[in-house]
C-alpha cells in the first residue's frame, strides 16, 4: 500500500542529511543517496491561503488541530495527544532578563505523560498510512512506553527492543 501526501500544504520531501528531493509519496528514508531521514517541505503560500488562526483554534483539543502542518492524510491515531498547558514562569523570566517566559508542560501529555507522545502519534499514523501493521522501536523508557501505548490504541502490533539490564520499573511502563 502506498500512501501519497496530497495535502495542499506540502511541496514534497527532502533528505535532512544530503538535501536530495523526493516526491510526497516517498516512504521515510533517502533511499537513493545516504539513507538519511526525510523531512516535509512546506508550501508556505498554500499554508497562508488555507490556514488561519481561526481554523487552528476550531480544531480538536489535541495535536491534530495542527493537521495541516503534519505529514499525514488519513484518519489520525488520536489518543488526545498534545494540547498541554503553557505555564508562565515569572521568576525564571526575571532571572534570565526576559519580559515573559512560558514553559510547555508535557508531563500531562496523553497517553503516557511524555513529550514523546507527540512524535509517536504522528509517526504511527503515517506508518499505518504506508500499510504497516507492526511498529518497533529501541528505547530505555519514554519512547518505548509511548510507542506501545499508541500502537495498542491503534490495533497495531508493537515490538520494543530494550537493553537486557534495564531496570524493572522502566519495563513495567511499557508492558502496561
pLDDT surpassing 60 at residue 144 = yes
Query: Domains in the chain, ordered, with CATH?
Result: 77-175 (3.40.50.1100)
pLDDT the model gives residue 4: 47
Contact 171, 145 (CB under 8 A): no
| DSSP one-letter code for 166 | -
pLDDT the model gives residue 6: 52
Q: What is the mean pLDDT of residues 19-46?
A: 87
pLDDT the model gives residue 31: 83
DSSP string of 97-156, one letter each residue: T-S--EEE-GGG-TTTSSTHHHHHHHHHHHHHHTT-SEEEEE-SSHHHHHHHHHHHHHT-
Band the pLDDT of 2: cuts 50, 70, 90: very low
pLDDT surpassing 90 at residue 170 = no
Amino acid at each position: 500500500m502506498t500512501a501519497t501526501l496530497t495535502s495542499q500544504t506540502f511541496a514534497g520531501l527532502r533528505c535532512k542529511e544530503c538535501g536530495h528531493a523526493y516526491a510526497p509519496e516517498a516512504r521515510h528514508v533517502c533511499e537513493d543517496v545516504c539513507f538519511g531521514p526525510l523531512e516535509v517541505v512546506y508550501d508556505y503560500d498554500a499554508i497562508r491561503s488555507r490556514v488561519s488562526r481561526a481554523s487552528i483554534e476550531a480544531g480538536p483539543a489535541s495535536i491534530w488541530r495542527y493537521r495541516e502542518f503534519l505529514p499525514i492524510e488519513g484518519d489520525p491515531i488520536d489518543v488526545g495527544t498534545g494540547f498541554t498547558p503553557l505555564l508562565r514562569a515569572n521568576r525564571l523570566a526575571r532571572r534570565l532578563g526576559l519580559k515573559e517566559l512560558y514553559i510547555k508542560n508535557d508531563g500531562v501529555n496523553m497517553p503516557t505523560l511524555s513529550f514523546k507522545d507527540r512524535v509517536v502519534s504522528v509517526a504511527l499514523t503515517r506508518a499505518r498510512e504506508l500499510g504497516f501493521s507492526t511498529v518497533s522501536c529501541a528505547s530505555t523508557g519514554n519512547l518505548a512506553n509511548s510507542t506501545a501505548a499508541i500502537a495498542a490504541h491503534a490495533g497495531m502490533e508493537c515490538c520494543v527492543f530494550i537493553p537486557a539490564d534495564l531496570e524493572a520499573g522502566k519495563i513495567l511502563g511499557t508492558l502496561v
